[in-house]
Structure 1
Amino acid sequence: MARLGPDEVLEHCLGKPGAWQDEPWEGDVVAKVSEKIFAFLGADTVGMKCGANRDEADELIGTYPDDVTVMPYIGRSGWNTVRLGGAVPDDEILELVDTSYAIVVSKLPKSRRPPAQT
């Protein structure tokens, strides 16, 4: 069975209301909503907001210590890097993307939030 790859993760990200692809640093693809990043897409990883704070995000590391790490620089705010093709099931990775998106959207001013899909 084929595992989830970066293209499928990006496609899932871009399916979210108001989501768009950006490359703020050469070679680094991210998914944004409004002007805020909700996913960093690597060749075999995805970086996401995995909790409202570091303690919540650490629960995922405790569950998948070989495949989830604290993101450099922004990890203290609940961001983790998740390895694709590892122990984290594909459907859980997509759920984590959904959670990251929801957290980021909830922090946007109401005027910059995308309209909810019906």
Structure 2
Amino acid sequence: MSIRTDLRAYALTLPEAAEDFPWDDSAVVKVNKKIFLFLGPPEPSTGFGVKLVVAHGHALSVPGAIPSRYGLGRSGWVTVPYDAALPEVDVLQDWVEESYRLVAPKRLSKLL
């Protein structure tokens, strides 16, 4: 499996998470109509985006990671390339969960 596939599968296990395609074939995962994970298109997929506070510095330390474009970086969003030397998948899942907790209503975050 690819990192993109793993992150997508994990994100969809979170309470009330749903996949959406707001820009053609570029996938995102939302909770309560708010994006918490940018996955990009299936091919060629360059990277994923998550909103982070605690792990923000760690995510930016990945080679090629940058604050997300379109002003999202100012709000803590980080874009991490799939082809970089990434941390273990459980760390990436922690980043997805942190992003989820920052975006989801408190009633859903409490379910984790």
Q: Could you say which TM-score interval applies, normalised by the shorter chain?
A: 0.7 to 0.9
User: Which aligned segments of 4 or more residues in structure 1 are displaced greater than 3 angstroms?
Assistant: 113-118
1:49 match: 51
RMSD of the TM alignment (CA)? 2.3
Gaps of 5+ in 1: none
Q: Structure 1, residues 16-71: CA drift from partner, whole Å, max 9, x if none?
A: 0110000111111000001100000022411000227xxx734532x32x231111
Q: TM-score, normalised on structure 1?
A: 0.76
Q: TM-score, normalised on structure 2?
A: 0.80
Gaps of 5+ in 2: none
Q: Is the aligned partner of 1:93 residue 2:92? A: yes
1:96 partner SS: helix
Q: Distance in 1 between matches of 2:39 and 2:26?
A: 7
Q: Distance in 1 between matches of 2:110 and 2:13?
A: 12
**2:4 alignment partner AA:** P
**Structure of higher CA gyration radius:** 1
